[in-house]
Amino acid sequence: MTATPRGSPAGIVFRRLDADPERRRAARLLPDCGLDDHDSACVWYGLCDLTATEDACLAGVAVVRSVGRATARLCGLAVAAAYRDPSLGRRLVCEVADALRASGVEELTAPPAPDRRVAALLARTGFVPCEQDQTSGAGWSQLPL
């Protein structure tokens, strides 16, 4: 029997991160994400590696804030460097979108991402530029749910 390589989609599950220790571990992934404006009003989600043998089992994290009844904003997004599978970032964004859609959210917005990788991930998952108005400035993108 061969071991599942780290970063493999097998054994990685999506779930909401509600416990403070989980959020502290997740926050360590976010400093370089370029969308780092999360606060206590945000909801945290993670991709958790059930096959990890050490404490650092978070493969990815997304932080979302409700902006209105039908709109949410992506405040943080990161995939751990140890997880090389490029599909994990896409999976994380899609899982968050599905969870938000199920709760009645109709649109997910994201501020400009200074990190090219994050910007490319948002584009690959269906985010499109927002029309400039009072609620969003230049560079913002949206994902209709």
pLDDT tens-digit series, residues 34-59: 444 556 778 999 999 888 766 668 89
Match domain 12-129+140-144 to its CATH number in 3.40.630.30, 1.10.1040.10, 3.40.50.300, 3.10.20.30: 3.40.630.30
The arithmetic mean of pLDDT across residues 13-19, rounded, is: 93
Contact 76, 38 (CB under 8 A): yes
Q: Using the predicted structure, report yes or no on whether residue 28 has a pLDDT greater than 70.
A: yes
Any idea what the Cα angle at residue 26 is, between residues 93 and 78, rounded to 5°? 40
Give the up-direction half-sphere exposure of residue 5: CA atoms within 13 A in the CB hemisphere: 6
Binned at pLDDT 50, 70 and 90, residue 4 comes out as very low
Binned at pLDDT 50, 70 and 90, residue 16 comes out as very high
Contact 73, 34 (CB under 8 A): no
Q: Using the predicted structure, report yes or no on whether residue 133 has a pLDDT greater than 70.
A: no
At 89 the pLDDT is 92
Query: Cα–Cα distance between 63 and 31 in angstroms, integer?
Result: 12
pLDDT digit string (tens) for 77-132? 988 888 878 899 999 999 999 999 999 999 999 988 878 888 899 999 999 998 76
Query: Cα–Cα distance between 59 and 46 in angstroms, integer?
Result: 7
At 68 the pLDDT is 87
Closest CA to 63 of 51, 75, 73: 75
Give the up-direction half-sphere exposure of residue 130: CA atoms within 13 A in the CB hemisphere: 21
Any idea what the Cα angle at residue 41 is, between residues 125 and 17, rounded to 5°? 65
